Structure 1
Amino acid sequence: MVSPILVIGRSGQLATALAMAGRPGLHRLGRPAIDFDRPETLDAALEAALDAAAPGLVVPGLVVNAAAWTAVDAAEQEVAAAERANRDGPARLAELCAARAVPLIHVSTDYVFDGTKGTPYAETDPTSPRTVYGRTKLDGERAILQAHDRAIILRTAWVYSPYGRNFVRTMLDAATKRPVLRVVGDQRGNPTSADDLAAAILAIAERIGRTGWQAGYAGLFHAAGTGDTTWHGLATAALEDAARAGHKMPEIQAIATADWPTPAARPADSRLDCTRLHDVFGVRLPLWRDSVAKVVATLTAPAP
């Protein structure tokens, strides 16, 4: 029998990708039933789901938290809301899962690092977030690991998909409106397809289901697309793929971070070393360039 999975989050990129994967027994729980920004919704909704009191739901063998405050710039002003969504809500979720010995996979971010190391970050490297978003996500990691000894934290980066708002979709849309695009070319990271991240999570779930929980499964893991590039490189790759499908190819100018100021400072080099994910779970995400091509092919496919 396939062990049920409860996904916290309904309409975000990762929650949508998990649903689209077609895995039997996967149930999404999101707004308005549960909303980390409204703490009063947490206990009743989560306890009902975790105790199988929700209609049509059996006790999950795994919970995946795909909900978060991801508006990086807005978090600089909406600090309390970011703390509720990225720290307090996930911490309470971890406590509820711990009380029932249900493993929890929580998704975090490369923004817990300041981007000054110069080589890819391992899970053991010191953290030093430069933004409210990064700090609240780090606080959430720590609270979860303190509350639950069966928690897996997956740090990922630069997530894009055919669903929702993301950088690749923004670039494809901008290319239809402007002949010249200016894109930051001095920030480096690992573009990650939400579909690939969802597949990695389901592979971890399958491993846990097959072996039972193992102590070595707990803790921090980096889970991002294989290979790295800049935002300019990602934009160029996506728009070249779109051009091959018959779309207009704009001029793409590389600019410096200083030429595109934002309220929240982005890390200059947040590449992630994902070796531990492969060593423990046998999981490695695909090459980012191949995954971008798949997403763009979906986005540019003729309507049926």
Structure 2
Amino acid sequence: MKRALILFWKGLTRFLSAIADWFTVILGMKDDSAYGKILRRIVGTCFTLMVLLGTSAAVVGTYEGIAGAFNDDSKVFYDIQYLSRNANYYISECGEDGYVENADGKKTITGIKWINKPLGFDSLVCYSDGEKRGYFNLYTGNVAIEPQYAHAWIFSEGVAAVDDEGWIKFIDGTGKVVIDPRIPYYPGAEGYVFHNKHCVVHKDRRDRFGLIDKQGNWALEPEYFSIIPCDTFWILDNGKERSVITDNMQTVIPFFTGSVMISLSDGTIIATMEDHTMKTFTLKGEVIEDFCIQNIEAMTYDTEELQAAGLSYSSIEAIGADLYFCKSNEGGGVLLNGKGEKI
């Protein structure tokens, strides 16, 4: 093995030496003739140019790296939020201010902290510059109402609520006050959005809510604990009971003790009563089912106490109001009421 390694090393060194001699001959390193001199000059010049090009590339790369480290713009990455064919909103991923850019690549608004788009067919977007709130047109990207409000809400049905020196007022697309309900602003207040030509508004003390119309008149006096919009309906809560009314203030379901869920997909209103039973109504308030079962859960019991009392069942299913089917382990079953009495 030792002899084999020695022979291999000698062969490798001779092979490399032969290649080196071959290159020196080709490049004219051992030729003292005029041809050899010219060839050596050409090789030397090419080598020098390669060194200069490599050095220049290294210098340029170093400069760009240093400049990039001190250039904040190179660190800022933006997410794009589509607004319209003519405008996009650019949101910084690292806390920098956002901006709006139009289709021509021009920044129309800068220094934006956040935006809220309008509802429906309204075109003015609410935005903040960090101190005040204003509006810009989502189709042009241009400012429509300069930031001047301490608080402002989205446009809905042609109007938007703003905090005008501590008072909630509604403005149109030009900034003109069109509804002045004379109610004060309270910190943390939400909403002030029109649905079906009505808006939920609180009274002076903000402990009760009502509905105003587009003229600022009370359609429902502020005497409810909450009013929740649901498509073309309103769910009223007077603190003890719930009721459902239409967008024209017609009662669909009178006040009752329980909760309400409106399912527009199948055209029903589901009401959960105080005793946890459920009823379904049409969207006009007509009763569909006086006792509605949405789900059936099987209950199993394996305790020794129930087995000793002869009350051990493999499953219990609710099949009606105060009526349960109890299946025994042997395969049969009995009907019991809510008191456990056999029916």
* Structures share fold, TM-score greater than 0.5: no
**Greater relative CO, 1 or 2 (CA 8 Å, sep 6+):** 1
State the TM-score, normalizing by the size of structure 2. 0.22
TM-score, structure 1 length as denominator? 0.24
Structure with the higher fraction of residues in helix conformation: 1
**Of Structure 1 and Structure 2, which has the larger fraction of its residues in strand?**
2
Larger Rg: 2
